[in-house]
Structure 1
Amino acid sequence: MQLQFLGTGAGMPSKERNTSALALKLLEERGTVWLFDCGEATQHQILHTTIRPRKVEKIFITHLHGDHIFGLPGFLSSRSFLGGEDILTIYGPKGLKEWVTASFNVSKTHLTYPIEYVEVQEGVVFEDEQFIVNAQLLEHVIPCYGYRVEQKPLQGELLIEKAKELGVPKGPLLGKLKNGEDITLEDGRTVYSRDVTAPPKKGYTITVLGDTKYCDSAIKLSENANVVVHEATFDHKTEHLAASYGHSTNVEAARVAKEANAGFLILNHISSRFLPHDLEDLLLEAKEIFPNSFFANDFSHFEWKNSELLEDK
């Protein structure tokens, strides 16, 4: 699992930060990319990455404020020019389909691929054999959702030496055992997959929270997650403003991660009031509460590997 931040600013773009967009790269797991929010100029940000728009399979919109959706029509249009043909599914609050459709109708935009719209409500919004995605309302000034992406348990590794001891030859039979299938050998004996594979491994869980003040829903969505992405629009000095605007401070985000027993916290949605030299202090304040805290900048790239969150510098 890899996370690449395409926009980490709050409200409007600045010289340092674009508006909200996050790519969850699932290239090893399913050969695709999922986007979370699509602020203005997201497609411009993508040009500076290795992400291919036609590989974007799903887009999850947290809420309908402009800094989270104004890049959507442009991205969807360019995806056609760049060879996109496969269906793309967009998840978001009521009104999203109406807004995108109106943009296309007025601009006479034609797409080369179909779009499926899913109007998000609390609960499971997507599930297949690999992943399950839950959504829950947060506490913002308009309806805003957080998303919890859970990878289902992974097949345990094949115990090759044990399989050899049972007489399994090299070749496709080993692959079948690894995939959970039982096999029959030439001498008629049955070799059961469970006997030659390690126990299933727990998949990872990532929680992506939209704009929100400190709330129980954020904690619930983040419970035992490997990685939590949480906004930090304000700091503790302006905590009195955070709740009134439906936002959180860096300290409140750290509290959410701590109370949820999360593994790692990535802070984003940073107000332009904070200059680059302010970020070190903001991060230290968060780390005092939750040591495994990181700050995201535009194009920050994180990889979940061997139970650790690794940041590419």
Structure 2
Amino acid sequence: MNHRKKVKSDMELYFLGTNAGVPSTERNVTSIALRLLEERRSFWLFDCGEGTQHQILRSPLKLSKLEKVFITHLHGDHLFGLPGLLSSRAYQGGTSPLTVYGPPGLKTYLDITLELSQSRVNYELIVEEHTGGVIFEDDTFKVEMALLDHRIDSYGYRVTEKDRAGKLNGELLEQFGIKPGPLYGKLKNGESVETPEGRIIHPSEVIGEPKKGRIVTILGDTRPCSNVIPLAVNADILVHEATFLHELAKTAHEYHHSTALQAAEAAKEAGVGQLIITHFSSRYKNEEELLKLQDEARSVFPNTYTAKEHELYPVPDGIRK
């Protein structure tokens, strides 16, 4: 149905649940994994609806590799799977620290559910509540969040990969008589080196242009609102809810959701590279009905795909125009 071109990437989205409100026989409720394969060798999870840990068992993901969880809002279809997943992680080899980010109230929810169920979490669990701004940053990534428009406080996340250093030109270095080893490391660190013949090689001569970091924006439930565009601007991939077809725009507005057409309009305005729509109403039961949502969005933003569970969506370099 999606007809996406298969590409290799060290950053991938993997959908564990795409339904809105309640699970169905065809789809689970919301959860999205962002696989970070090269440098971190881990994955991050965005929302954790009921049954997420079962979905992970059917996937290539390993709970022991889960590093961070980002909760968009505290509605059950985005949250009820979290206590069970946290409890099970240690039994599946998860011993490293795990940080959970989300709106105020998340820590109380987890404290109560884990305490009353006498669940053991045999690793360091950090819960950080936020209401917007930069919530995480290291040498590789920055994560920002901003408030959306939903029945309760719901947030969107913008994950920005920092620009990466260009690759060393191995063939050229070989011509200069420099073999892989300590001199490679010096060049990568910006130091000039001397060849066996006494020639000085500067990093700019043998290192390619820096690679532009990629951007992935994942929104929680929302009606069209002012914060969508700043979160999504120039993103390589935007994940946007599309609960209804636009013929139900009034219903979408009343329930604080978006239509496929509205998601596409946001993608177009923000100048994103690719739009993936998700969070489908249970009224759309099969692929044929979901295709109508995709077609509606493509009428405005052609590079749109419907999220399909247990399918990888690579985040390749250069997807943006």
Q: Give the TM-score of the pair, scaled to structure 2.
A: 0.92
Shift of 1:191: 2.9
Q: Report the counterpart of residue 148 of structure 2 in structure 1.
A: 138
Contact 1:77 1:110 in 2 (8 A): yes
Contact 2:173 2:179 in 1 (8 A): no
Does 2:111 align with 1:105? no
Distance 1:157 1:243 in 2: 48
Unpaired segments ≥5 residues, structure 2: 1-10
Q: Report the counterpart of residue 150 of structure 1 in structure 2.
A: 160
Q: Report the counterpart of residue 179 of structure 1 in structure 2.
A: 188
Contact 1:5 1:297 in 2 (8 A): yes
The alignment partner of 1:286 has SS state of helix
- 1:10-21 paired onto structure 2 within 5 Å: 10-21=20-31
Contact 2:19 2:278 in 1 (8 A): yes
For residues 251-300 of structure 1, give each alpha carbon's deviation from its aligned partner in whole angstroms, at most 9, with x where no partner exists: 00000000000000000000001121211222111101000000012212
Quick one: which of 36, 47, 50 aligns to 1:37?
47
Q: Report the counterpart of residue 303 of structure 1 in structure 2.
A: 314
Distance 1:175 1:68 in 2: 46
Amino acid at match of 2:242: A
Contact 2:244 2:293 in 1 (8 A): no
Q: Report the counterpart of residue 294 of structure 2 in structure 1.
A: 283
Which range moves more in the overlay, 98-107 or 172-181?
172-181
Shift of 1:110: 1.1
Distance 1:306 1:60 in 2: 24
Amino acid at match of 2:190: E
Distance 1:297 1:181 in 2: 43
Amino acid at match of 1:45: Q
Quick one: which of 178, 187, 204 aligns to 1:169?
178
The alignment partner of 2:32 has SS state of strand
The alignment partner of 1:35 has SS state of strand
Amino acid at match of 1:149: V
Distance 2:30 2:61 in 1: 16
Relative to structure 1, is the Cα distance of residues 244 and 44 closer, same or farther in structure 2, using a 3 angstrom cutoff? same
Q: Report the counterpart of residue 23 of structure 1 in structure 2.
A: 33
The alignment partner of 2:209 has SS state of coil
Q: Report the counterpart of residue 48 of structure 1 in structure 2.
A: 58
For residues 104-131 of structure 1, give each alpha carbon's deviation from its aligned partner in whole angstroms, at most 9, with x where no partner exists: 1101111110111111221101000000
Shift of 1:178: 5.6
Shift of 1:149: 0.4
Distance 2:111 2:188 in 1: 43
Does 2:217 align with 1:207? yes
Q: Report the counterpart of residue 304 of structure 2 in structure 1.
A: 293
Distance 1:90 1:162 in 2: 45
Which range moves more in the overlay, 294-303 or 66-75?
294-303
For residues 216-265 of structure 1, give each alpha carbon's deviation from its aligned partner in whole angstroms, at most 9, with x where no partner exists: 21111110000000001111111011122111000000000000000000
Contact 2:186 2:193 in 1 (8 A): no
Relative to structure 1, is the Cα distance of residues 145 and 210 closer, same or farther in structure 2, using a 3 angstrom cutoff? same
Amino acid at match of 2:225: C
The alignment partner of 1:305 has SS state of coil
Q: Report the counterpart of residue 92 of structure 2 in structure 1.
A: 82
For residues 73-131 of structure 1, give each alpha carbon's deviation from its aligned partner in whole angstroms, at most 9, with x where no partner exists: 00000001111110000000001011011111101111110111111221101000000
Contact 1:32 1:55 in 2 (8 A): yes
Q: Report the counterpart of residue 7 of structure 2 in structure 1.
A: none
Distance 2:120 2:174 in 1: 57
Q: Give the fraction of aligned pairs with identical amino acids, expressed as a percent.
A: 45
Distance 2:187 2:201 in 1: 12
Distance 1:39 1:174 in 2: 49
Unpaired segments ≥5 residues, structure 1: none
Q: Report the counterpart of residue 253 of structure 1 in structure 2.
A: 263
For residues 152-183 of structure 1, give each alpha carbon's deviation from its aligned partner in whole angstroms, at most 9, with x where no partner exists: 00111112344345x35212145315633314
Which range moves more in the overlay, 242-251 or 169-178?
169-178
